[in-house]
């Protein structure tokens, strides 16, 4: 399997160039559903230990159905498919540029949740224009065992998020274990108390948000696999902007600087969407870290990856 790895503001992406399963025809969304249903072992083998790590997001390139898109791309993490992924879209754009498939300027990616525009500004800097993002529920209050009362919003930014400012401790790298434990408990409480995204979708990401120096806010983002996002999370910050816009706290076109738990940043802004939500633009940087051929030797007991603890 030929892959190119990168990191976007600290968060790893593995672009799969060849060696993936045949997903047949149809839209990228239909092929993504087949990948999730029939090829879970393939996804884990490509990004989990011992060839990858829990935080890694796979980006499998597939032929686009739409002729105006440079490629189709299906995102997945160790827990399954992601509808969209901001950091992996930036990583994919940098990878396509590294391969000579795109140059400076605007390009379109066909993702399972719609077309995403990427603008390559330089070898390392990319803006993505995400899918329309919106808030579904405001001020959802939960009793979270071991954490206490937590109130937050449920919003869509290409994935489903619960976003709260009620913090179990300071958003500092030294607290990552504690923050992970608390957000896992919040996610479980959402599920136990019957909260979902639209059409019963699992709310698989949780964001803790706090004021900080040098940016508009700092976040800690729990991802579906139970790992945390090293980047400020493109889809998560899109969902946050939808909440800020709905509350009248951020105007269309106004800049927002989001800092991650490790201190990396995205610059964002939005325009009004066609369906009452917002269309965010997320700007961040990515770097290539490896170009590899992954081997799956016959008899390797961990060819399909090591399941997460
Ligand atoms: O950047 O959208 C994102 C993302 C989702 C999960 C990890 N990163």
Write down the pLDDT at residue 309.
65
Q: How far apart are CA 198 and CA 211, in angstroms?
A: 29
Instruction: Say whether pLDDT at 197 is over 70.
Output: yes
Pairing relationship of beta strands 134-144 and 148-156 according to DSSP bridges = antiparallel
Indicate if 85 belongs to the active site: yes
Mean of pLDDT values over 213-232:
97
Q: Are 270 and 252 in contact (CB under 8 A)?
A: yes
Q: Whose CA is closest to 84, among 106, 104, 102, 57? A: 57
Pairing relationship of beta strands 148-156 and 217-222 according to DSSP bridges = unpaired
CATH architecture of 2-131+288-293: Roll (3.10)
229 lines ligand 1 (CB under 6 A): yes
Which runs of consecutive H residues, i.e. helices, occur in 60-205? 86-98, 176-192
**pTM, 2 dp:** 0.96
Q: How far apart are CA 122 and CA 100, in angstroms?
A: 13
- Atom index in ligand 1 nearest the CA of residue 236 equals 2
Which residue bears the tokens 């106004």? 254
Q: What token pair was written down for 295?
A: 């081997």
pLDDT tens digits for 23-47? 999 999 999 999 999 998 899 999 9
110 lines ligand 1 (CB under 6 A): no
Task: Taking the CA atoms of 119, 157, 25 and 15 in sequence, report the sign of the dihedral they define.
Answer: positive
Which residue bears the tokens 């958003």? 171
pLDDT above 90 coverage of the chain, percent: 96
Phi then psi for residue 95, to 5 deg, are -65, -45
Write down the pLDDT at residue 40.
87
223 lines ligand 1 (CB under 6 A): yes
- Among 231, 238, 261, 264, which residue has the most ligand 1 atoms within 8 Å of its CB, making it the best to mutate? 231
Mean of pLDDT values over 209-223:
97
- Atom index in ligand 1 nearest the CA of residue 84 equals 2
pLDDT tens digits for 276-301? 999 999 999 999 999 999 999 999 99
Indicate if 223 belongs to the active site: no
Which residue bears the tokens 């686009």? 64
* Cα pseudo-dihedral 116, 118, 124, 125, rounded to 10: -100
Write down the pLDDT at residue 79.
87
β strands within the chain, DSSP E: 2-8, 11-18, 57-62, 71-77, 80-82, 105-111, 114-120, 125-129, 134-144, 148-156, 160-164, 205-210, 217-222, 256-259, 265-272, 278-293
Domain boundaries of the chain, sorted by first residue: 2-131+288-293, 134-272
Q: How far apart are CA 246 and CA 239, in angstroms?
A: 11
pLDDT band at 83 (very low <50, low <70, confident <90, very high): confident
pLDDT band at 155 (very low <50, low <70, confident <90, very high): very high
Catalytic residue among 43, 48, 69, 233: 233
CA distances from 233 to 86, 158, 298 (A): 6, 11, 37
Q: What token pair was written down for 22?
A: 């045949």
CATH number listed for the domain at residues 134-272 = 3.10.310.10
Write down the pLDDT at residue 29.
94
Q: Do 2-131+288-293 and 134-272 have matching folds?
A: yes
Q: Of all protein residues, whose CA lies closest to atom 8 belonging to ligand 1?
A: 233
Q: How far apart are CA 302 and CA 46, in angstroms?
A: 11
- Among 6, 11, 54, 202, which residue has the most ligand 1 atoms within 8 Å of its CB, making it the best to mutate? 11
Write down the pLDDT at residue 249.
98
Q: What token pair was written down for 39?
A: 């090829």
Mean of pLDDT values over 218-231:
97
């Amino acid at each position: 399997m030929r892959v190119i790895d990168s990191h976007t503001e600290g968060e790893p992406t593995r672009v799969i160039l060849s060696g993936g399963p045949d997903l047949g025809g149809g839209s990228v969304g239909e092929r993504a559903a087949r990948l999730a249903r029939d090829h879970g072992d393939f996804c884990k083998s490509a990004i989990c230990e011992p060839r990858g790590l829990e935080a890694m997001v796979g980006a499998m390139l597939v032929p686009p159905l739409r002729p105006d898109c440079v490629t189709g791309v299906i995102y997945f993490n160790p827990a399954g498919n992601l509808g969209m992924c901001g950091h992996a879209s930036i990583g994919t754009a940098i990878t396509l540029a590294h391969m000579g498939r795109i140059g400076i300027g605007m390009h379109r990616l066909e993702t399972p949740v719609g077309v995403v525009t990427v603008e390559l500004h330089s070898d390392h800097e990319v803006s993505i224009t995400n899918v329309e993002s919106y808030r579904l529920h405001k001020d959802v209050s939960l009793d979270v065992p071991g954490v206490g009362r937590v109130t937050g919003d449920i919003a869509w930014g290409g994935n489903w998020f619960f976003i709260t400012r009620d913090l179990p401790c300071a958003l500092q790298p030294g607290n990552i274990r504690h923050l992970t434990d608390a957000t896992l408990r919040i996610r479980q409480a959402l599920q136990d108390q019957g909260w979902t995204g639209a059409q019963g979708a699992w709310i698989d990401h949780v964001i803790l948000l706090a004021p900080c120096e040098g940016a508009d806010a700092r976040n800690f983002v729990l991802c579906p696999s139970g790992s945390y996002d090293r980047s400020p999370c493109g889809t998560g910050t899109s969902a946050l902007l939808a909440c800020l816009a709905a509350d009248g706290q951020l105007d269309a076109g106004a800049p927002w600087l989001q800092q991650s738990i490790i201190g990396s940043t995205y610059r964002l802004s939005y325009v009004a969407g066609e369906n009452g939500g917002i269309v965010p633009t997320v700007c961040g940087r990515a770097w290539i870290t490896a170009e590899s051929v992954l081997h799956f030797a016959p008899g390797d007991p961990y060819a399909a990856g090591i399941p997460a603890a």
